[in-house]
Amino acid sequence: MPTLAKRACDTCIARKVRCDGALPCATCEASTRKVQCTYVRPAQKRGPKARRPSIQKALSYGMPPQVTHETKTPALLQDVSDSIQVGVQVGAQPAVLPPHTPAFQFPLVLVDTISKVIREYENNSYSVWPVIRSDVLAQQLALLPSDESTFCLATALCAATIAQLNIPPLESQGYGEAVLVDSSYLSRECIRIREQCDFREHLDVRWVLTSFFLHVYHAKVNKRNSALMYIQEAVSSAKLLGLDKDDQALQGPAAEVVDNREILFSLLWVSERGYSIHLGLTPSFSDRLIVKVVNDAVANTHVYGLVELSKLFAVFDQCTGADISENLLVESEKALQVLEISADKTTTTRLADHSITREWMRIIIWQRALSAGYLSSLSPSTLMDFTFPIAVSHDLLAALRNFSSEDLLPLGRDQLLKCFEIANVLADTLLCSSVFADNTTLQCGPYELLHALYQKLHPFLYLDQTLDSILREKTGQAFLCAPSRLWNLDPPYASNEGEEAPTLQVISAVP
């Protein structure tokens, strides 16, 4: 039986594998990466350390500073192993990386995992963000393992896809053990490498898309400050590259991974507008978007869908000023109603996105009319009536009944917030107005609309307990204020033997 060595080599210590103590040891000799077997690193005490060695102390040993992290990840193990390879012998000067040595090495254990998630993006999320050529991205990952911008774009895209589609953690095999890869890990790796390579001074379109997908991930996990900063960073980077004026920045080799280039800035503009409105803030890009006439928009379903969505925001952008007249609100709401999208010219997911966004904008316009004091029960305009949220809720339900949960899942938390806003306004309207409680009807009324909206949203609310508790409480309170159902009983009877029991008839409020 072989005896354990008293001292393991530096590589085996970093990889946490058994070492036979030889020089070189059997593990380093058998490694396909041709690592250098050294015993340079000073022996450390067993057990937890009181303090981490500083960078200066680490450099004094002639070694790069040791990488530490809360969890053991393939990329970190790769960094430590790379540090060992450039170590120097005892008594030598501190090692310096040669100019041709790449500063970053792609963790090869993630290749299969990232490839799987990229395929999920192509199958389920491409219709929402149709700006990445997944086959080109996967090919670049295989051919350029040391390219930071390609790695960061891939990890940001995968983090957003896993979060949006609620994909469970994926198991990745590497370094003799299994590692679970989830959206949180991928986003951390992306941010870590991104900051190390000083990307802001070497901007290209890949870094713009990396910021965008980091925004999508942080918005999904409800980190609102980070999400807003990333989408503003994406828009600002696109402006620095001139993407808001022309597509010259999309002509180089860095843009080979970009698909549907003509709608890239529109996607960024729409995303920042929508998220800023959710937070009640003013968008950083104050210029209005001029919706370009795209020649192949009719032939390309993805381009057509995003162009039509941009038209909604272009109309709604007129209502973002401080001084808004009643006539402007009415005309904007009418313009939104006219903007229909052809179902046979776009994807089902984009059609759902367009329908939900339009109704959400209508309810926002009504809220602004309410804040300005324009509402009146005597107003000839439907928008200026207190019952307008009922009409919007009806239109939203009529649109949602054509979509399944699978159609709505790729839209993520953004569309959930829009539907929640409409249901929340409807619940507040029912709670604050006594008109609906006094008006009993045998047809489908506002309370049935609220109930149906809650049932439609409930499958997506289980991951957001805050929204679920708010809407559940308001729905319950609204039903307590709702008129009771009509119970028809036969006339009173004497409880004598031989008499038939009375018949109980329920007149339901729902047909």
Q: What whole-number distance in Å separates Cα of residue 257 and Cα of residue 484?
A: 60
- The SS3 assignment for 102 reads coil
- In the DSSP assignment, the letter for residue 482 is S
C-alpha 380/C-alpha 394 separation (Å) is 20
- Bridge partner list, 174: 177
Residues 6+ apart with CB under 8 A from 417: 278, 467
pLDDT at 107 over 70: no
pLDDT of res. 494? 46
**pLDDT surpasses 60 at 111:** yes
Q: How does residue 510 score in pLDDT terms, banded at 50, 70 and 90?
A: very low
Query: What is the reported pTM?
Result: 0.73
Sign of the Cα torsion 346, 352, 354, 359 reads positive
Tokens representing residue 295 in the block: 């020649």
**Distance set, CA 466 to CA 223, 417, 469 (Å):** 14, 12, 5
Angle CA 79–82–87, to nearest 5: 125
pLDDT at 480 (0 to 100): 83
Q: Give the start-to-end residue ranges of the domains of the chain.
A: 10-85, 103-285
Taking alpha carbons only, the member of 360, 496, 465, 348 closest to residue 408 is 348
Query: Across residues 378-389, what is the average pLDDT?
Result: 90
Beta bridge partners of 342: none
Longest C-alpha distance within the chain, in Å?
Answer: 112
Q: Residue 104's pLDDT is what?
A: 56
Task: Name 99's Cβ contacts closer than 8 Å, sequence gap at least 6.
Answer: none
CA nearest to 21, candidates 12, 32, 31, 30: 12
Q: What is the pLDDT of residue 177?
A: 67
Q: At 92, is the secondary structure helix, strand, or coil?
A: coil
Strand partners, 478: none
> DSSP secondary-structure letter at 123?
I
Question: Is the predicted pLDDT of residue 120 greater than 80, yes or no?
Answer: yes
Q: Considering only residues 108 and 36, tell me which one the structure prediction assigns the higher pLDDT.
A: 36
| Lowest mean pLDDT segment, chosen from 211-215, 300-304, 398-402, 499-503 | 499-503
Which two tokens mark 187?
């986003």
Q: How confident is the model at residue 287 (pLDDT cuts 50, 70, 90)?
A: confident
Most confident of 152-166, 277-291, 447-461, 466-480: 152-166
Instruction: List Cα–Cα distances, 205 to 249, 384, 462, in angstroms.
Output: 7, 45, 36
Cβ atoms of 393 and 471 closer than 8 Å? no
pLDDT in tens, 315-332: 998 887 777 899 999 999
Contact partners, residue 285, CB within 8 Å, separation at least 6: 235, 239, 244, 269, 272
Contact by Cβ (8 Å): 381, 330: yes
What whole-number distance in Å separates Cα of residue 362 and Cα of residue 334? 9
Say what the pLDDT of residue 362 is.
96
Separation of alpha carbons 71 and 182, rounded Å: 13
